[in-house]
């Protein structure tokens, strides 16, 4: 009875789902796709959760992280050095520096309004552009366009995800409403768990994506405390350490043009906040769209401007003495009393002199 009801619901919910994989230009047969990732979630873009086989011809990669598109590559990685892209002709990965991109053709792209397809041979790119329109350019030019459009495209994507989350909510209530699910830090992680745990029965890729987006929307409390998602290769611009190795201390600054900077503690984040130029970044505080820190107790992200910080406690971060963040003043004071903190500070009480003084 349950499955038959779900079948009826599915006809309505997924009438607007993507067309069959073979009809999408980005798609290839599974045996022709080169997956650089490993593990149970190897099929999914770590940034957005999209199926990498379905969106293979726009795939980019850095190391063993494989993204469905240039959009997700630049959104997840502040620096794209060492990146690779799929050559549309051979379906093999090639260094982006050797690729000839066709940008803005009539062929639909992935996660963007201006499609971007790469070719190892310039003549192939020119032939594609001659047939489908678009401009032929190198990676640097295509990447610059992607970064410039990032914030606008993310707004568009978020609107689409809102609608998808509504569909996911209905599927979740029908198929997995009583499932006991853990907290997730990304759409890809949620989708991987759903696909491999059987928590919602057997769904298709679009249905898993919809439910995962719903779970990561914070609805129903499933993702309310999800930690800040840090790309595996992201380095702190202050100390150069890999931030993902220190998930309990993550700070993040998101800029108005869609860039993300990750930090292995509040101290380094504040150093950057007060003087980005010292770390070779041309950025003003007005260009910082969001400044986030991780709550010490539950690791949930919070607005750094609204957090409370304990200074001088006997709890140390990856870089030694830290400003330990809390959601409420009461929690900060309790922690300070328990751990010999010297003071409890609001964001406004923190300045560059205080931050650099923690290193002494």
What is the predicted pLDDT for the residue at 7? 38
> In 10 A of CB 167, how many CB atoms?
23
Cα–Cα dist 104/132, whole Å: 9
Cα–Cα dist 330/349, whole Å: 17
The CA radius of gyration of the chain, in Å to the nearest whole number, is 22
Half-sphere exposure of 311 (CA within 13 A, CB side): 16
Domain boundaries, the chain: 19-151, 153-221, 243-357
Please, what's the b/e burial string for 198-217 (b: 16 or more CB within 10 A of its CB; e: otherwise)?
Answer: ebbeebebbbbbbbbbbbbb
What is the predicted pLDDT for the residue at 8? 36
The answer to whether 118 and 87 have CB atoms below 8 angstroms apart is yes
Cα–Cα dist 158/160, whole Å: 5
Half-sphere exposure of 138 (CA within 13 A, CB side): 4
Enclosing H/E stretch for 324: strand 323-326
The secondary structure of residue 228, as a DSSP letter, is: P
Cα–Cα dist 146/155, whole Å: 14
* Alpha-helical segments (H) within the chain: 2-13, 70-76, 122-132, 139-175, 187-197, 205-216, 266-274, 329-338, 352-357
pLDDT tens digit at each of 360 positions of the chain = 334 433 333 333 333 344 334 479 999 999 999 999 989 999 999 889 999 999 999 999 998 889 999 999 988 765 677 899 999 999 999 999 999 999 999 999 999 999 999 999 999 999 999 999 999 999 999 999 998 888 788 878 888 888 898 899 899 989 987 778 876 767 888 899 999 999 999 999 999 999 998 887 755 445 445 688 899 899 999 999 999 999 889 999 999 988 999 999 999 999 999 999 999 999 999 999 999 999 887 777 889 999 999 999 988 999 999 999 998 898 899 889 988 899 999 999 999 999 999 998
What is the predicted pLDDT for the residue at 5? 37
What is the predicted pLDDT for the residue at 80? 72
What is the predicted pLDDT for the residue at 346? 95
The answer to whether 11 and 19 have CB atoms below 8 angstroms apart is no
What is the predicted pLDDT for the residue at 77? 66
């Amino acid at each position: 009875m349950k499955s038959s009801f779900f079948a009826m619901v599915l006809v309505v919910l997924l009438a607007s789902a993507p067309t069959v994989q073979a009809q999408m230009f980005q798609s290839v047969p599974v045996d022709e796709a080169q997956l650089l990732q490993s593990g149970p979630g190897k099929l999914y873009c770590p940034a957005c959760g999209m199926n990498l086989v379905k969106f293979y011809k726009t795939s980019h990669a850095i190391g063993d992280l494989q993204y469905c598109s240039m959009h997700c590559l630049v959104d997840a990685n502040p620096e794209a050095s060492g990146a690779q892209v799929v050559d549309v002709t051979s379906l093999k990965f090639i260094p982006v520096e050797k690729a000839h991109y066709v940008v803005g053709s009539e062929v639909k792209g992935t996660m963007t309004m201006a499609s971007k397809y790469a070719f190892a041979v310039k003549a192939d790119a020119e032939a594609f552009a001659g047939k489908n329109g678009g401009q032929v350019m190198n990676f640097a030019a295509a990447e610059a366009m992607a970064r410039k459009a990032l914030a606008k495209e993310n707004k568009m994507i978020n609107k689409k995800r809102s609608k998808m989350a509504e569909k996911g909510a209905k599927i979740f209530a029908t198929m997995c409403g009583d499932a006991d699910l853990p907290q997730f830090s990304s759409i890809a992680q949620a989708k991987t768990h759903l696909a491999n745990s059987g928590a919602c029965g057997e769904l298709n890729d679009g249905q898993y994506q919809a439910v995962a987006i719903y779970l990561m929307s914070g609805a129903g409390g499933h993702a309310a405390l999800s930690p800040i998602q840090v790309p595996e290769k992201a380095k702190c611009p202050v100390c150069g350490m890999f931030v993902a190795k220190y998930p309990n201390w993550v700070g993040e600054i998101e800029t108005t043009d869609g860039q993300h900077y990750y930090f292995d503690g509040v101290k380094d984040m504040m150093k950057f906040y007060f003087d980005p130029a010292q770390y070779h970044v041309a950025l003003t505080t007005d260009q910082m769209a969001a400044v986030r820190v991780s709550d010490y107790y539950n690791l949930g992200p919070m607005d750094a401007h609204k957090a409370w910080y304990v200074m001088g406690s006997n709890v140390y971060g990856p870089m030694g003495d830290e400003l330990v963040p809390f959601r409420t003043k009461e929690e900060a004071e309790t922690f300070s009393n328990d751990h010999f903190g010297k003071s409890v500070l609001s964001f406004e009480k923190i300045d560059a002199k205080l931050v650099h003084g923690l290193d002494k």
